[in-house]
């Protein structure tokens, strides 16, 4: 009886049967060859599965890239939309500039003045203590340059007509001097035009007399307070001598008409 020698039957490198070994029987040799062919076929199948797996991974990777690109485009689109909205808000965050507005806006403002429905909040002229220009008087007052600018603003109001208008000012020197330069006389001082704060809107409405315009010479902080209370919380700070125009009708309904800078009065008067 032939004894099978396992050490000669398998090679050390592959652990496959050595079909050329003289110790292997013919029948077993045939079976061994079939086994080797079967293993080769399995190896081909495994290789085939590996190719398919690689193709699948490639497709998944491409799909993920497309999804990431889509997300990136979405983020960029959202950023552009936010920038456009922010730009729009930035442009419209302050009342309209009446000096640059069309004739329709100016005509509306003029009609409201003629009807005695306007409140005009005027910022005082250039401060002496914050300028190198020659002071008009005390250091807490205005400069000579500011006084000249206030005179031009006053001429603009006079051209509109001051017959049905009241003029109030804060008690501080710079507003008193500004009002005097504008209208050639002292105005009535009102402490609430200095303190301002959250009650300013109500104070303005309470002091508005029907069919009489109201000119209030005050401060940039007060004008900012008023704008916050009337729908413009991020408005640009008022320049020296600029005027915020507001309409208050007989029912007490308030509408911000726009703002007019000091130098714009000259252009309006020449039109």
Share above pLDDT 70 across residues of the chain, in percent, rounded to a whole number: 68
Q: What percent of the chain has pLDDT over 90?
A: 56
Which CATH number do you get for residue 249? 3.40.50.1240
The pLDDT assigned to 107 comes to 87
Closest CA to 148 of 169, 179, 125: 125
Same domain, 168 and 221: yes
The token pair that represents 173 in the structure block: 């020197």
Does residue 17 carry a pLDDT above 60? no
pLDDT at 43 > cutoff 60: no
Same domain, 3 and 119: no
For residue 97, tell me if it sits in a domain: no
Task: Judge whether residue 69 has pLDDT over 90.
Answer: no
Quote the pLDDT of residue 14: 45
HSE-CB of 146 using CA atoms within 13 angstroms? 31
Structurally, the chain folds into a number of domains equal to: 2
Question: In the structure, what pLDDT confidence band is assigned to residue 265 with cuts at 50, 70 and 90?
Answer: confident
Given a cut of 80, is residue 169 above it in pLDDT?
yes
123 lies in the same domain as 166: yes
Same domain for 260 and 164? yes
State the Cα–Cα distance between residues 161 and 54, nearest whole angstrom: 87
Across residues 180-206, what is the average pLDDT?
Answer: 95
pTM higher than the cut 0.95: no
Q: Which two tokens stand for residue 72?
A: 């990136």
For residue 42, pLDDT over 60 is answered with: no
Same domain, 115 and 247: yes
Q: Is the pLDDT score of 166 beyond 90? A: yes
Predicted local confidence at residue 12, as pLDDT: 40
Does one domain contain both 156 and 68? no
Cβ contacts of 19 within 8 Å, gap of 6 or more: 29, 32, 33, 36
pLDDT of residue 15: 43
Task: Please report which confidence band the pLDDT of residue 105 belongs to, taking 50, 70 and 90 as the band edges.
Answer: confident
116 and 84 housed in the same domain: no
pLDDT at residue 2 is higher than 70: no
Same domain, 82 and 109: no
User: Do 18 and 124 sit in the same domain of this protein?
Assistant: no
Question: Is residue 98 assigned to a domain?
Answer: no
Residues 173 and 129 grouped into a single domain: yes
Mean pLDDT of the chain: 81
pLDDT at 198: 93
Residue 182 sits in the same domain as residue 235 = yes
Q: Would you state the structure tokens that stand for residue 214, as one six-digit string?
A: 């109201």
Domain span at residue 58?
1-92
Task: Classify each residue of 235-266 as buried b or exposed e, where b means 16 or more C-beta atoms within 10 Å of its C-beta.
Answer: beebebbbbbbbbbeeeeebebbbbbbbebbe
The reply to whether 138 and 263 lie within a common domain is: yes
Residue 88 — very low, low, confident or very high, per pLDDT cuts 50/70/90? very low
Q: Which of 43-57, 94-108, 149-163 has the highest mean pLDDT?
A: 149-163
């Amino acid at each position: 009886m032939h004894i099978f020698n396992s050490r000669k039957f398998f090679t050390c490198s592959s652990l496959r049967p050595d079909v050329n070994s003289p110790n292997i029987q013919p029948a077993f040799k045939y079976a061994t060859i079939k086994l080797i062919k079967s293993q080769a076929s399995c190896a081909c199948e495994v290789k085939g599965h590996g190719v398919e797996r690689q193709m699948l991974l490639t497709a998944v990777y491409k799909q993920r890239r497309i999804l990431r690109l889509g997300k990136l485009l979405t983020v960029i689109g959202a950023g552009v939309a936010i920038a456009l909205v922010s730009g729009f808000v930035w442009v419209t965050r302050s009342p309209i500039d009446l000096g640059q507005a069309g004739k329709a806006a100016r005509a509306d403002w003029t009609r409201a003045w003629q009807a005695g429905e306007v409140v005009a909040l005027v910022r005082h002229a250039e401060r002496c203590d914050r300028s190198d220009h020659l002071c008009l008087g005390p250091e807490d007052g205005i400069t000579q340059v500011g006084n000249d600018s206030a005179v031009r603003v006053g001429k603009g109001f006079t051209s509109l007509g001051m017959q049905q208008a009241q003029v109030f000012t804060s008690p501080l020197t710079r507003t008193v001097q500004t009002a005097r330069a504008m209208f050639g006389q002292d105005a009535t001082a009102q402490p609430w035009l200095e303190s301002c704060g959250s009650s300013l809107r109500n104070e303005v409405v309470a002091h508005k007399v029907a069919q009489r315009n109201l000119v209030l010479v005050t401060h940039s902080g007060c004008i900012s307070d008023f704008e916050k209370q009337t729908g413009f919380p991020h408005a640009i700070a008022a320049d020296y001598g600029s005027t915020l125009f507001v309409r208050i009708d007989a029912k007490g309904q308030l509408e911000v008409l726009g703002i007019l800078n000091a130098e714009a009065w000259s252009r309006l008067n020449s039109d």
